[in-house]
Amino acid sequence: MAINNNTPCLVCGSATTPVAKAESFVCTFCGSSEQGRSKCPEGHFICEACQGKTALRVIEDLALSTTSKDPLAIAELMMAHPGLPMLGCEHASLVAGAFMAALKNSPYGSGKITNDDIHEAFKRTTKQAVSGHCGLTGVCGIAPAVGACFSIFLGARCGSDSEQKITMEAVIRVSRSIADLTGPSCCKAYARAAITEASNLFGERFGIILPVRSGAALCRHSGKHPHGCREEKCPYYQKPSRDIFAEAKFVPGMVCTS
Q: Residues interacting with Zn ion, by CB under 5 A?
A: 9, 11-12, 14, 27, 29-30, 40, 42, 44, 47, 50
Minimum Å gap between C-beta 76 and Zn ion is 13
Name which of 40 and 77 has its Cβ closer to Zn ion. Answer: 40
Name which of 44 and 230 has its Cβ closer to Zn ion. Answer: 44
Name which of 49 and 179 has its Cβ closer to Zn ion. Answer: 49
Minimum Å gap between C-beta 57 and Zn ion is 11
Name which of 40 and 198 has its Cβ closer to Zn ion. Answer: 40
Radius of gyration over alpha carbons of the chain, in Å?
21
Minimum Å gap between C-beta 96 and Zn ion is 22
Name which of 47 and 98 has its Cβ closer to Zn ion. Answer: 47
Minimum Å gap between C-beta 15 and Zn ion is 9
